[in-house]
A and B are shown apart, each in its own frame.
Chain A
Amino acid sequence: MFKFRLYVAGDAQNSVDAIANLTAICRKYLPDRYDIEIMDVFLVPARALADGIFLTPTLVKLAPAPIRRIIGSLSHTALVLQALGLEASAA
């Protein structure tokens, strides 16, 4: 089971793109094995501050270990897969 937390900044273009890209990747490579929690930094700034989120969007892979952080709109699928350790399934 993959647990993701995605920090977004309201409806900023990069954030909107990130949500779409993440969902697409999960559907394709992790069908039914994923859980996405979306945090809007505008709504929970204190939380973002506590988590050290300054750049949006930021994707945090909470599980499985290790925890990874990926920033950006996740448009670069290959990079995202590599960072998540999913290259094999992409191939």
Chain B
Amino acid sequence: MRGPTKAPTGIAGLDEMTDGGLPRGRTTLLVGGPGSGKTILALQFLVHGARDCKEPGIFVAFEETPKRIVANAEGFGWRLAELQRKSLLFLDAQPLPDLVHAGNFDLSGMLAVLEAKIGAMKARRIVFDALDIVLALLPDAAAIRREMYRLHSWLVAHELTGLITLKSGADDASAVRHPFGFVQFMVDCAVILNHSVVLGVSQRNMRVQKYRGSGFHENESPFLIGKDGFNVAVARTLGNSDAKVSNERVSSGVKRLDTMLGGGYYRASSVLITGFAGTAKTTLSGAFAEAACRRGERTVFISFDSDANEVIRNLASVGIRLDRYVKNGRLQMISARTIVGSAETYLVRIKTLVKEHRARCLVIDPVSALSKAGNELTANSVAERLIDWSKAGRTTLVCTRLLDETSNQFEGASPLQVSPLQVSTLADTWIHLNYLVQAGERNRGLSIIKSRGTAHSNQVRELILSSAGVTLADAYTAGGEVLMGTLRWQKENSERRAHEITEVAGKHKRVMLDAEAAELEVRVKSLQVELLAKQVEKTLLARSTESRKGELSQGRSRMRELRGADAALRGRK
């Protein structure tokens, strides 16, 4: 089943809402209150047609002179003068103020004129801006109806894609003023713009009320008139949600945090850093920005809290030096404190900034600024779209969120339930910073609450800021309590002392043993010597015994000799 073909408007968001654009060859009604942007939208539709779709267009202006319309649209960079030469025609159809009307009249004259022009320039698109002005001149409802039908059937007969704008009633933004109400039923597509102020914040919304033969987003979508025209914020459609996933890791700027995360954040993921005031959220996001710049990646740092120069100075005090990257243009620091507007405004500006800077990394500090007064309703969807958008654009997003100091901050779990902005469920990595007050000290603790697709440390670490930079320290757990700061230092010290004592004791023992061994060795030696002496003595003894034996026998024969030795002499004679 194919619906009507579409004439793209070139308006980001509106084409998505209408699944391609306005119904081609049919009539669309655009309704809105004063200042809701009807004329700009209508003109943008023509400009896109003339410039990008080879569909020349005619703008019939009933309320303003074409000159003024062109002048007002100057800022959008549509190069109207160039288009006006051949593919865009403005017709000044303002009824003269001194016009007298006496009796019935009709629009045939205008249609005849238009017909000639359409033939000449092969126009495919036509806008009747503020048609209500001329309809109001008609004497009665029947005449209005008759002229509207005349116009409608003329558009259909010429297969022109028509856009008629009408002012809405003052009270009900969705309703066309009473006598023109039937127009809403006659057209094939109706788009309603409204402009409201909620708690002092201007909000513009667009809604497609009907679209014959086509599906469309039925919800109101916020829109913004930005630098290059309309920009409608449309919640991501399911179709384009499959952003390419990456296994690449990017450093968080803190070495040990990278280790805790198994290598860093994932590229194109979104990281949320929550914490109370002063828990070093900005510092941690600054570390990320510095690391990104060091890798040579273009980065945008948006601060809602303080001035860009203040951020740079403050971060320099903890060894995060961003100034050089600002100087070489890699880093763009933006103080968004001055931007006033709805969350949508912020989103559009953020998008523009990132696009213009061609940034691969984005820091928003804090993202909770989006839910400032008047924005509570839209802030969530804005944050959601911010995450989706950065993911789709493969931008790594780090945003911080300030938690309410008044909520109980000493229990790890409770402040996390305070979730004014539901970024936490969408973010891929959620790092929580909190204070641990112990023994008269307030120390910063860092824990990773979640990190999708990453085995991450479950331990609370102590975040230490010094002029040398940001480091993490192991936190001691003693009796189920985490020790930080001085307590950690004490614990570390006492452990070191205990270690030293054991070491010394060991040394002592070793010396003692050495001494004992030496003593034994000495004893062994002296015993050996003694043994040797004994052996010598023994030999000596043996020898002396022998010699005595010899001497004895010798002596005996000598004695025999001396005694007369008859036996021997006898022998010899």
Contacts and interface: CB of A to CB of B under 8 A. Distances in A.
A33 interface: no
B104 interface: yes
A30 interface: no
Contacts of A18: 103
B116 A71 contact: no
Contacts of A14: 103-106, 108
A71 B101 CA distance: 5
A71 B105 contact: yes
Interface string A1-14: 00000010110111
Contact of A9 (B92, B93, B101, B106): B106
A9 B109 contact: yes
Contacts of B112: 9-10, 41-42, 45, 48, 56
* Chain B interface, >50% SS class: mixed
B134 interface: yes
B102 interface: yes
A71 B108 contact: no
Interface in A32-91: 41-42, 45-46, 48-49, 52-58, 68-77, 79-80, 82-83
Nearest to B109: A56
A52 B115 CA distance: 15
Nearest to A66: B98
Contacts of B91: 49, 54
Interface in B60-116: 91-93, 95-96, 98-113, 115-116
Contact of A48 (B92, B98, B113): B113
Contacts of B111: 9
B513 interface: no
Given A46-B116, A55-B95, A72 B109 contact: no
A15 B96 contact: no
A7 B106 CA distance: 12
B117 interface: yes
B103 A41 contact: no
A54 B102 contact: no
Q: How large is the interface on A (under 10, 10 to 19, 20 to 34, 35 or more residues)?
A: 35 or more
B109 A53 contact: yes
B100 to A, nearest CB: 4
A9 B103 contact: no
B156 interface: no
B59 to A, nearest CB: 14
Contact of B103 (A17, A42, A82): A17
Contacts of B108: 9-10, 12, 14-15, 41-42, 56
A2 to B, nearest CB: 16
B98 A69 contact: yes
B515 interface: no
Contacts of B101: 70-72, 79
Contacts of A42: 108, 112
B137 A79 contact: no
Please indicate which of the listed interface residues A7, A13, A42 has the most CB atoms of chain B within 10 Å of its own CB.
Answer: A42
A69 B99 contact: yes
Interface centre among A7, A57, A77 (most CB of B within 10 A): A57
Nearest to B62: A54
B92 A21 contact: no
A73 B95 contact: no
A72 B140 CA distance: 13
A56 B101 CA distance: 11
A73 B100 contact: no
B502 to A, nearest CB: 103
Contacts of A83: 100, 102
Centre residue among A54, A56, A69, A80 by max chain B CB count within 10 A: A54
Contacts of B100: 68-71, 79-80, 82-83
Contact of B92 (A52, A55, A58, A76): A52
Contacts of A48: 109, 112-113
B115 A45 contact: yes
Nearest to A58: B109
A77 B100 CA distance: 12
A56 B104 contact: no
Contact of B116 (A12, A49, A58, A79): A49
A17 B113 contact: no
Nearest to A57: B105
Contacts of A53: 109, 113
Contact of B102 (A45, A56, A72): A72
A82 B98 CA distance: 13
- Please indicate which of the listed interface residues A21, A48, A72, A76 has the most CB atoms of chain B within 10 Å of its own CB: A72
B103 A21 contact: yes
B106 A55 contact: yes
Contacts of A49: 91, 113, 116-117
A56 B107 CA distance: 6
User: Most B CB atoms within 10 A — which of A13, A14, A18, A79?
Assistant: A14
Name, among B92, B95, B109, B111, the residue most crowded by chain A CB atoms within 10 Å (CB to CB).
Answer: B109
Contacts of B96: 52, 69
B102 A79 contact: yes
Given A9-B112, A45-B112, A54-B93, A74 B102 contact: yes
B145 to A, nearest CB: 15
B113 A41 contact: yes
Interface in B110-153: 110-113, 115-117, 134, 137
15 contacts: A14-B105, A42-B108, A45-B117, A48-B112, A52-B93, A55-B95, A55-B107, A57-B105, A58-B109, A69-B96, A70-B99, A70-B101, A71-B105, A72-B103, A73-B103
Interface of B: 91-93, 95-96, 98-113, 115-117, 134, 137
Given A12-B108, A14-B103, A57-B109, 11 more contacts: A14-B106, A17-B104, A45-B115, A49-B117, A56-B106, A56-B112, A57-B105, A68-B100, A69-B98, A72-B101, A79-B102
The 6 closest A-B pairs by CB, nearest first: A9-B108, A56-B109, A45-B116, A72-B103, A73-B103, A75-B103
